[in-house]
Structure 1
Amino acid sequence: MNISRRSFIKTGLAGSATLGLSGMFTSRKWFQSAAAENAPKEITRFTYHTTNCGGRCAFKCTVRDGKLVKIVPNNWTDTRFSTVCLKGISEIERIYSPDRLKTPLKRVGERGEGKFVAISWDEALTEIHKKLSSSIAKYGGKSILFSASSGIEYTYQQLVTLLGAQYVCEAGIDVGLANGLEECIGGQAYGYVQNETSDWVNSKTIIFLGCNILETTLTDSKFFYAAKDAGAKIIVIDPNYSTTASKSDQWISIKPGTDGDLLLGMITLILDNNWYDAEYLVKNSSAPFLVREDNKQLLRVEQSKEGNVENPFYVWDKNSHSLKPYNTEGVNPQLEGEFTIDGVKVKTVFTAMKENQKSYTLKWASEKTEIDEDVIYELTKRYATAGPAVLGWGFGGIDKWGNADVAGHAGAILGALTGNIGRVGGAVGNALYHGSSWTAALNSWELPPEFAQAPLEMTTQDRRIKENSVRVVINLGNTLQQHFANLSKTEEWINSLDFLVTIDPFHNPSVNYSDIVLPASTAFESEYDIINMQVNRSHVLMSQKVIEPLHESKSDFQIEKEMAARFGLDHHLPKTPEDLQRHRLTSGDPRLDGITIETLRENNFIMRLKVPNEPYRGFMDQKYSTPSTKLELYHEKMVEYDQAFPNSDLPSEAHKNNSLSKQYPLQFSQAHTRYRVHSQFTNAKWINQIDPHPKLEINSKDAESRKLKTGDLVEIFNERGSFQAKCKVTEYLRPGQVRLHEGWWTEHMKAGNLQNVTNDKLNERQYKLRYGPVIPYNDTLVEVKKI
């Protein structure tokens, strides 16, 4: 009898007779004597969740007779983090999943067919060494690309360096908004909000722009409710009525792809109504810098060189009524004005911004976004005048549009105008995954100087259409499905490769394209007692072996070590993971004082850094990691694209001006969900009892015109390809949209793959930005028909 966990709980004791269990309860098959000699051997182990849901839950695991049987939260010093969500609990089932790769595999069919034969580790490693050696001899180490999913904690960095290979992790994903924001504030990794989410209790207004935090960062929900209880007004701006919208004070529906237009309209309202903080702008931003009228470049001491602290930008000093470098002691910059310097007309960045904003009126923003004028007005007034405010966005929505950089840039300007960057209770950026907290520097494992990782030639997406060096791919995770749009073009590139290896615990869709497959252990399994370590949420977390590696799997540390041994290079690697973690803790960072392997062991492998008890808040000193150390609102390098200031830009594909919209009138998006992390947990059977199969969500009006009802099998298609899934009619989506939760594997679709239809056109101007072009997955047009 096959009884699922959910069915057993649902039926309960009252249903035991129906299940035929009442008689079994008295059977010796079920019960044994409680004598001590029959007691199972039970131990407790400690680890943390390594998936990139951002929760970084720490686990206390019960292991009984060598098998993981229970997961509960470990005790953090800050007990607000002592939690676990359904994904963490489901690891008990997933570890023992039938989808586990049990032995090394060798392809015997065509790439993509998924036909393999089992081979030994020796055969697999010998073949890998042979192919990699051949490629290095012919084309150099740069011909090998290690491509890692973001959920992979151990990324083979030592081997990458030893082989002189290239390495990439999620190029073009989750970078669209960060590209705009971080040009203004400097690097902060994926554009996270500057202040820790626990600081939201000090905010008066929190605006979530396409951010469904109560779905995608469940473990931060307590901070959402704490802020609400403390009096913050929470406003969600989202085309769809999300879980977060349902728990907020206000939901504003916006036309998809127009988020940047809303923010541009808000900038104009703040400027026109003098709701900006002039003193903040003068002290902390590039607003007083001077822009030349002739070439649109900033005026600086040596015009032919890049501007920075050593080659400072000029401002107009109100005290001396003359030109001065902005960092001159005692200078009093003028915020607004136009001047002529040696025959060259210049104006302040702030004055130029005002001129640039003239066309972005309240009426214009309302028409673009389909939000009423009075709603935009009240939203903006509150954000600018009601006290500290957070403008937070997510990764899975507006970030995956071709014009996302405009919204990121405009958001940074809003934060600067209102003084909400480097302020208690303020922040601008990605509000998911508790991305900002106290941290500490860890030592890196040094390799001899003759070894060097090859520079990454180009974004992964471009490798399919541009000449490049890569002939071999070592795929870590499920990158071949998750890291590319337009799967048919990806398959052409895959088939052109000389050799492809996948390393993962599960038979994910990328496995089917591979020549050799290596079964990695899960993060709960290892040959060693200590596995890995992270600094996260102001704590040091260490992961301990929970159980022995299952089947013939090996830990990533062991796989890297054995691969390096084939090249005679393993002596450069640490002997054990514990040696590596001990070394990492010797960086000398005072925030690590007292934290050692031994003290971590004494504290269940989790300790708080030597940092203040208050929330982390970035840039409180108003020193930014930009060339000028100021908030840089004007981007010279984007002048040729008319994006030195953020300017309205149509989406890449999903807009009415596109002739394709007549043939494919529906905008398709992939949404994050509480049930998965990208494509991770797609095979989690306990979770799939709740969310059993892919569902294409469609508004009732669009369903009615296509004669569709919930449960119908539909085809989703455009000129790139198609896939099939069941249909779900809903009122949560706006008309004109369809949505599928991301990450479903090919085998779960009725036919095809969701990436068959996604838009892979990159925005040319974004090559100049720090993260390169974003892949516009959600900026996609499709049509839907009943099968």
Structure 2
Amino acid sequence: MERRSFLKMSAALSAAATVSGCNSSSKDADVVPPQPPVGEEKVNWSSCLVNCGSNCPIKVFSRDGVITRVETDHEVEDVYGLHQVRACARGRSLRQRTYAPDRLKTPMKRVGERGEGKFVPISWDEATQTIADNLQRVISQYGNQAVFRSYGSGAYYGFASNANFNRLFNLVGGCLNAYGNYSWAQQMEAAKHTFGTGSTSGSSTVTIEDSDFFLGVAYNPNEIRQSGSGEGYDFVKALERNPDLKIVMIDPRYTDSMLGKEGQWLPIRPGTDAAFAEAVAYEMIKSGWVDTHSLDFISKHTVGYDAASIDAQKAEFEASGDATKVEYAKHMNSEENYRDYILGLGIYSEPRTPEWAEKITGISAAQIRAIAKDLMNAQRPYIVVGAGVNRQANGEQSMRALYMLSVLTGKLGNRGVSNGELPYMTGMYRAGIPAGTNPVKETISFFTWTEAVVNGKEFTARTHGIRGTEGLDDKLGTNIHFIFSASDSSLLNQHAEINNTAQILRDAQDLFVVSCDCWMTPGAKFADIILPDTSWLESNDLVDNSYAAGSLGYLTAMSAAVDPMWDCKSMYEAAAMIADKMGVGAQFTEGKTEADWLEHLYEQTRTNSRNSGVVPAFPATYKEAQQIGVFRKDMKLNHVALQSFVKDGKALNTPSGKIEIYSAELAWRAANWTQEDVTGVKGDTITAIPQYTVTWDSYEDTDTATDYPLQLATYHTKGRTHSSYHNVPWLREAVEDALWMNQFDADAYGVSSGDKVVVYNARGAIEVPVKITPRVAPNVVALGQGAWYLADTKGRTDDSGRPLDIGGAVNTLTRYQPSPVAKGNPQLTIRVQIRKA
């Protein structure tokens, strides 16, 4: 029932009670009972634009300029295909998030030491002029390569997004760009060097309905993609249509994507996934099954299974006349072939047997053999590897090792079969504000920005994987001196090794930092200027279904439920003001207001052919679309991984055009890039074939195992997306930030559920409560990532004198150590010790 109807009914019942309960004298009969206010309630469509991959539409109710409640989508009959997009608890808490006590209300400038959080209010004119002056100073003194627009995935806006700042920087000469991301950096490189793809080209989730065996490694869509439009919903629906499917899940933690949906859960030690994959491969090869069932497929479609295939490819490269391929050929070595490596032949001395893997992974040899048997018996095996595997030390190797299992089956290209990559998804088209072209050609890894603040001038392709330079040893030539951070918690909270990051930001004398956000995040406290952004419920926009919304495509024409509060402005307005101060205001706006841009971009969206078949049909104007709110389209996703390659002979985007078990490009990088393993960083090495490596802080790392005997597994919780929504108390009550421990470990440490413990290592210490549960493997503890760093107000410190983090941010404990190929983040490789608080 609508609240207005309830109040009217309440008033009517109150009046009836008054009449029946009083005498009927004329005096009393003239009394009019009090009426509660029942003013008109306004309804607007908005969206939850957090980076979970769904962008769920939100129905917002307000009265007299105040948001009264939030509901989710229930506008259509809930029939799968054009179903309701039901938001999760995060989207439904947007009223609390919008009115959070830590909302930024006005521009501010820093007056204390960086990180102290001491600011004073200033005007927008002063804020944007200060930003423009410092931006121009840095460009003039150091060049545009010294300007960095950091990652910023905290708001997947449509129009009023980070793209506005990209547009601004490109108009003033560009900025140092970044490749990769915190989610998928290493798996993107692994997929590129194996399949020539980008890591999300696996078979669509809907095709699981035709599979006969499902193997999921660290695959957890029901927590990560939990909305009614997300991958988790597609996964559940596919399982409903295939009730006899055998499902095996491998994960250190029993996740909500299991909960009885799986046939078997195999807890594995973090970082040992490659060893598991190699032992399964050993069974498939040693038994002779590959020779009799899949060798024809392997010989035709791959390079690197055996020595002969490498020699043949090397000769082809040498004869190609392509300078790059000829150079690759110089570093190819057929002795380093996959078959010999797995069987322990040739230059390799140790076969990758199930018994070998059992000691490493914690999964028994018998269970490994059973998985291998299931794969060999399956006609349509669907294998998928979650992104958690790639966020480990040398995660490139782990991903490539697991991808090999799909290759060995010889079934790729058929419906119901996938190649280990995350499922392919696509959505409706939405036009966005054009950002223009960045004149700066140099690009660094997203993860190396803190190092670039200190030593970016020495970055080269050989040492740091920098792209866009002519030679391997050409230097970037400047440090980062200007950071623009918008909707970005990687400025501190989501980056590795928080204490080190904070120290770098504090020590950088000639660094200017801008934060544009809605809340006083841990990273915003390190800014020189803070700009208050408008929240989603205060915004007009046009947004799509993002990148992981599954089979349903949709667009939401957002309309502001309330006017921008306090002195907040949208990213478009902020960027336009800075552009004006930089002398490029006219080029930035092109004479259009924000409303003009939205009408213009809506028209481009409406007429795009990809959006044919939308329900309901798009009206003529954006304002009319805002009245309707949500537009849907069944995307009919039926992508089959590598089908065009296997069935149609279309070459892959690899140097050989085939699936590369042996990567000639990685062989070249191994010979030419600086590898940390050479200088003593265990496991950070590049190899041409996928190989399990013993890395720093891994299960087999004897250097740290004594001092820090527990492996810490981190995961995404239902109460946050990364660090977004942490400041909503409702969600903290619904999803407890507690350290999961097996009873075996709890007994050894003498702790019970609810006890507070200090979790620590050489990089820092956090204080969190304990939860005893059988849902985590022995000798492994688990903690949700994304909690906001908060230094202890009582002055307590870790063993090195750094503040104890009572907020429980996992990145207080993680290590900054860029991975060898992607130069990505290995933040899921952590060893710790605990003690009672």
Aligned residue for 2:777, secondary structure, equals coil
The answer for the alignment partner of 2:505 in structure 1 is 494
Take 1:266 and 1:555, find their aligned partners in 2: how far apart are those partners?
53
Q: Which amino acid aligns with 1:760?
A: Y
Q: 1:125-181: per-residue Cα shift (whole Å, max 9, x none)?
A: 121111111111111222111113323322122123223112447745432333323
The answer for the alignment partner of 2:620 in structure 1 is 598
Once the two structures are superposed, the pairs formed by residues 387-536 of structure 1 within 5 Å of their partners are 387-395=379-387, 397-429=388-420, 431=422, 436-439=424-427, 452-458=439-445, 459-463=448-452, 466-468=455-457, 469-476=479-486, 477-495=488-506, 496=508, 497-526=510-539, 529-533=540-544
Once the two structures are superposed, the pairs formed by residues 616-655 of structure 1 within 5 Å of their partners are 616-622=639-645, 623=650, 624-639=652-667, 640=670, 641=685, 643-655=687-699
725, 729, 741: which one pairs with 1:698?
741
Take 1:587 and 1:618, find their aligned partners in 2: how far apart are those partners?
30
> Which of the pair is proportionally richer in strand?
1
Q: Aligned pair in 2 of structure 1 residues 193, 448: CA closer, same or farther (>3 Å)?
A: closer
Take 2:574 and 2:436, find their aligned partners in 1: how far apart are those partners?
21
- Residue 179 (structure 1) aligned with residue 189 (structure 2): yes
Q: Aligned pair in 2 of structure 1 residues 106, 737: CA closer, same or farther (>3 Å)?
A: same
The answer for the alignment partner of 1:340 in structure 2 is none
The answer for the alignment partner of 1:95 in structure 2 is 98
Once the two structures are superposed, the pairs formed by residues 708-747 of structure 1 within 5 Å of their partners are 708-747=751-790
C-alpha contact (below 8 Å) 2:599/2:621 kept by paired residues: no
Query: Structure 2: any 5+ residue segments left out of the alignment?
Result: 1-9, 11-17, 22-32, 458-478, 671-684, 794-803
Q: Which amino acid aligns with 1:73?
A: D
Q: Aligned pair in 2 of structure 1 residues 454, 520: CA closer, same or farther (>3 Å)?
A: farther
Take 1:186 and 1:422, find their aligned partners in 2: how far apart are those partners?
15
- Residue 363 (structure 1) aligned with residue 363 (structure 2): no
Q: Aligned pair in 2 of structure 1 residues 444, 556: CA closer, same or farther (>3 Å)?
A: closer
Take 1:356 and 1:563, find their aligned partners in 2: how far apart are those partners?
62
C-alpha contact (below 8 Å) 2:307/2:334 kept by paired residues: yes
Q: 1:535-585: per-residue Cα shift (whole Å, max 9, x none)?
A: 654524134123222221111222122221211213223523415624753
Q: Which amino acid aligns with 1:697?
A: W
The answer for the alignment partner of 2:368 in structure 1 is 376
Deviation of the 1:465 alpha carbon? 5.3
Q: Aligned pair in 2 of structure 1 residues 561, 464: CA closer, same or farther (>3 Å)?
A: closer
The answer for the alignment partner of 1:63 in structure 2 is 62
Q: Aligned pair in 2 of structure 1 residues 256, 347: CA closer, same or farther (>3 Å)?
A: closer
Take 2:744 and 2:574, find their aligned partners in 1: how far apart are those partners?
53
222, 235, 242: which one pairs with 1:214?
222
Take 1:65 and 1:552, find their aligned partners in 2: how far apart are those partners?
19
Q: 1:316-374: per-residue Cα shift (whole Å, max 9, x none)?
A: xxxxxxxxxxxxxxxxxxxxxxxxxxxx9979977667666871123222232221222
Q: Aligned pair in 2 of structure 1 residues 597, 159: CA closer, same or farther (>3 Å)?
A: farther
Deviation of the 1:534 alpha carbon? 5.4
C-alpha contact (below 8 Å) 1:411/1:428 kept by paired residues: no
767, 775, 782: which one pairs with 2:832?
782
Q: Which amino acid aligns with 1:779?
A: T
Q: Aligned pair in 2 of structure 1 residues 356, 523: CA closer, same or farther (>3 Å)?
A: farther
Q: Which amino acid aligns with 1:71?
A: E
C-alpha contact (below 8 Å) 1:46/1:74 kept by paired residues: no
Take 2:97 and 2:89, find their aligned partners in 1: how far apart are those partners?
12
Q: Aligned pair in 2 of structure 1 residues 642, 253: CA closer, same or farther (>3 Å)?
A: same
Q: Aligned pair in 2 of structure 1 residues 546, 161: CA closer, same or farther (>3 Å)?
A: same
The answer for the alignment partner of 1:18 in structure 2 is none
Q: Aligned pair in 2 of structure 1 residues 598, 617: CA closer, same or farther (>3 Å)?
A: farther
What TM-score comes out, normalization by structure 2 length? 0.77
Q: Aligned pair in 2 of structure 1 residues 98, 631: CA closer, same or farther (>3 Å)?
A: same
Q: Aligned pair in 2 of structure 1 residues 706, 162: CA closer, same or farther (>3 Å)?
A: same
The answer for the alignment partner of 1:232 in structure 2 is 245
Q: Aligned pair in 2 of structure 1 residues 179, 158: CA closer, same or farther (>3 Å)?
A: same
Deviation of the 1:455 alpha carbon? 2.8
Take 2:546 and 2:400, find their aligned partners in 1: how far apart are those partners?
29
Q: Which amino acid aligns with 1:626?
A: T
Take 2:250 and 2:166, find their aligned partners in 1: how far apart are those partners?
40
Take 2:354 and 2:98, find their aligned partners in 1: how far apart are those partners?
54
Aligned residue for 2:620, secondary structure, equals helix
C-alpha contact (below 8 Å) 1:262/1:365 kept by paired residues: yes
The answer for the alignment partner of 1:118 in structure 2 is 121
- Residue 762 (structure 1) aligned with residue 761 (structure 2): no
Deviation of the 1:506 alpha carbon? 0.9
Aligned residue for 2:368, secondary structure, equals helix
Q: 1:435-476: per-residue Cα shift (whole Å, max 9, x none)?
A: 622346666655777x62453234325325533331011112
- Residue 151 (structure 1) aligned with residue 151 (structure 2): no
Take 2:714 and 2:635, find their aligned partners in 1: how far apart are those partners?
39
The answer for the alignment partner of 2:73 in structure 1 is 73
Take 1:607 and 1:244, find their aligned partners in 2: how far apart are those partners?
29
Q: 1:638-689: per-residue Cα shift (whole Å, max 9, x none)?
A: 3335621111201321334432211111112322111111101101122122
C-alpha contact (below 8 Å) 1:424/1:617 kept by paired residues: yes
Aligned residues: 710
What TM-score comes out, normalization by structure 1 length? 0.82
Deviation of the 1:725 alpha carbon? 2.1
The answer for the alignment partner of 1:687 in structure 2 is 731
Q: 1:86-137: per-residue Cα shift (whole Å, max 9, x none)?
A: 1111112211111211111111111111111122211211211111111111
C-alpha contact (below 8 Å) 1:102/1:519 kept by paired residues: yes
Q: Which amino acid aligns with 1:757?
A: L
C-alpha contact (below 8 Å) 1:216/1:674 kept by paired residues: yes
Take 1:351 and 1:398, find their aligned partners in 2: how far apart are those partners?
23
Take 2:75 and 2:428, find their aligned partners in 1: how far apart are those partners?
21
Take 1:65 and 1:40, find their aligned partners in 2: how far apart are those partners?
8
Aligned residue for 1:492, secondary structure, equals helix
The answer for the alignment partner of 1:260 in structure 2 is 274
C-alpha contact (below 8 Å) 2:714/2:828 kept by paired residues: yes
Take 2:34 and 2:517, find their aligned partners in 1: how far apart are those partners?
39
Aligned residue for 1:428, secondary structure, equals coil
Deviates more, 1:241-250 or 1:674-683: 241-250
Q: Which amino acid aligns with 2:39?
A: P
C-alpha contact (below 8 Å) 1:71/1:92 kept by paired residues: no
Q: Aligned pair in 2 of structure 1 residues 391, 293: CA closer, same or farther (>3 Å)?
A: closer
The answer for the alignment partner of 2:203 in structure 1 is 195
Q: Aligned pair in 2 of structure 1 residues 115, 398: CA closer, same or farther (>3 Å)?
A: same
The answer for the alignment partner of 1:223 in structure 2 is 234
Q: Aligned pair in 2 of structure 1 residues 251, 270: CA closer, same or farther (>3 Å)?
A: same
Aligned residue for 1:145, secondary structure, equals strand
Deviation of the 1:62 alpha carbon? 3.1
Aligned residue for 2:520, secondary structure, equals coil
Query: Structure 1: any 5+ residue segments left out of the alignment?
Result: 1-12, 14-22, 315-343, 767-771
Q: Which amino acid aligns with 1:774?
A: G
C-alpha contact (below 8 Å) 2:111/2:119 kept by paired residues: yes
The answer for the alignment partner of 1:5 in structure 2 is none
Q: Which amino acid aligns with 2:657?
A: T
The answer for the alignment partner of 2:598 in structure 1 is 578
The answer for the alignment partner of 1:321 in structure 2 is none
Q: Which amino acid aligns with 1:598?
A: A
